[in-house]
Chains A and B, each alone.
Chain A
């Protein structure tokens, strides 16, 4: 069986990932997209990677002058000293000295000198990587579509016979015929102002389809491949982890399993995050790392809250057993956020991860189809043996029972629900607000189906023994009656 050809890096880590390692050498690729989508940036990364590998890269400039390209590239931190330039861009003299003509068509006049310069450059330099910005200009040098096609095809062959890998920037749909000539097409777009990249075609190798997030920063282009959970899996021991609160463990018949998703649902303020933090406190005692991604609460507030319930969060953070992260609203796309999570899981061995909350995730991340991303992220974490805690705020605060608002209950292996309840104090006879906890669903084990009262104390969660007098659990506000 033929050995898989060694892939050639594009210079962009995320793009290499989507291309299953990078480009295949000795082939031609089209980078297409509208104005400002980043085609030249892709080309610069491609050539810079070539320079680093000693592959004598060549930039053929047909639009912008060499000086402009170099200036723009330098602001993005590219080092261009080992990249050769062939500047075929229109000279200012063309306008100033009225060198325009109409006796012949441009295709008759310009093609030959242009081709000659290109051939000379390539034969003397022998580049292994060539970027043409942009091939759309060639169209005006061709008398008609047939000639354009023929010229481009023979140009590509000329380069490939000389063992170059070629990337052509193309300005969009008018260059449809190019897609049949190239071995691969990378498409840049910004639907709804979200920069995206997509591999439309990639002959000779697998690639990851669909849209992937992309960003252009002062450091160049960054690509965030869409998370495909099925591609990530580790062997892990399917054990149950304790919450550190024996009665809570009993409710769950031991605790929560690794590699499962638990939804902790209930109205605001009832104690969902605290329940989750109990598991993390216990995990810290085992030397394991946990992470809380909060989409709403500031880190300082969480730290103060922890102190009030007997969780030494500051120490845990210092020792590296806990990381509290506040996610800035609208800062990340789901793919970018997923990359953060992957780093925690794969590089820092986080074993419990909390997303607080599901609606916060939905509202804080940019782009479309968020729920699908959340699903993929949860699945990824589960595949990697992480215990996922998904906090879900339910409105209204009291009244009719509803598990989740965002339609994510299918994601869960376990559903822990918390509710407020009214109870009349035995001693004073005054109506008080109490809290109740119960397990609604547990895929991997049996569970205690009794609703329990619980309290949040200075030592943490305290689950009270079951009370047979508790009624109206699901249909309204649970009421405690004395019998």
Chain B
């Protein structure tokens, strides 16, 4: 069994009690930058870089309030993650490396709240997160 797990941030409050944002990105630096940004804005984050960890997090954790999925570098199995989030009623945003009509359709078909094209701006991302979650508790 793989030992990888979502990385916890900000200390004492256990993951399954406070609302958190799940971030999926294959690129480690992307993940770092997004998590830093969200944490500085007062949110909790759980970062994953492969689909298995993403699925596990969805199943095991109860505190996930929304998800941000960078589909860059993943194959079509990423839509199963979307379906899983949709089933659990967790709102999510899809981030894509470029314009991709097919991906856009897939995303919206599984309930995506938005389809964003990289690079994002900080304002844009925070604005959308706030509209989905309200400001941080």
- Say yes or no: A101 contacts B30, CB within 8 Å: yes
- Which single residue of chain B is at the shortest CB-CB distance from A143? B121
- Contact bitstring B65-79, A, C-beta under 8 A = 1, else 0: 000001010000000
In the complex, the answer to whether B121 meets A105 with C-beta atoms within 8 Å is yes
B33 cross-chain contacts in A, Cβ below 8 A: 101, 103-104, 109
A318 touches B (CB below 8 Å): no
How many A-B pairs have beta carbons closer than 8 Å: the answer is: 35
Query: What are 27 A-B pairs with beta-carbon distances under 8 A?
Result: A99-B29, A100-B27, A100-B29, A101-B27, A101-B29, A101-B30, A102-B30, A102-B72, A102-B97, A102-B118, A102-B119, A103-B25, A103-B27, A103-B33, A103-B34, A103-B70, A103-B95, A103-B118, A103-B119, A104-B119, A104-B120, A104-B122, A105-B119, A105-B121, A108-B119, A108-B121, A108-B122
The SS class assigned to the A binding surface is loop
Which residues from chain B contact A108 at a C-beta distance below 8 Å? 119, 121-122
Q: Which residues of A contact B120 (CB under 8 A)?
A: 103-104
A residues near B121, Cβ cutoff 8 Å = 104-105, 108
Whether B122 pairs with A103 at a CB distance below 8 angstroms is no
Q: How large is the interface on B (under 10, 10 to 19, 20 to 34, 35 or more residues)?
A: 10 to 19
- Interface size on A, as a range, is 10 to 19
Other 17 A-B pairs with CB < 8 A, given A102-B97, A103-B95: A98-B29, A100-B29, A101-B27, A102-B30, A102-B72, A103-B30, A103-B34, A103-B70, A103-B119, A103-B120, A104-B33, A104-B119, A104-B121, A104-B122, A105-B119, A108-B119, A108-B122
Determine which residue in A99, A101, A105 has the highest number of CB atoms from chain B within 10 A of its CB, and name it: A101
A98 CA / B73 CA spacing, docked (Å): 15
Residues from chain B with Cβ under 8 Å of A105 in the complex: 119, 121
Interface residues of A in 75-104 (CB under 8 A from B): 98-104
Contacts of A104 in B (CB 8 A): 33, 119-122
Binary CB contact string for chain B from 117 to 130 against chain A (1 if under 8 A, 0 otherwise):
01111100000000
- Is B122 within 8 A of A102, CB to CB? no
Chain B contacts for A109, CB-based, 8 A: 33
By a CB distance below 8 angstroms, the chain A residues around B119 are 102-105, 108
- In the A-B complex, the 6 residue pairs with the smallest Cβ-Cβ separation, listed nearest first, are A103-B30, A101-B29, A105-B119, A101-B30, A104-B119, A102-B118
Name the residue on A nearest B123 (C-beta).
Answer: A108
Instruction: Output the nearest chain A residue to B116 by Cβ-Cβ distance.
Output: A103
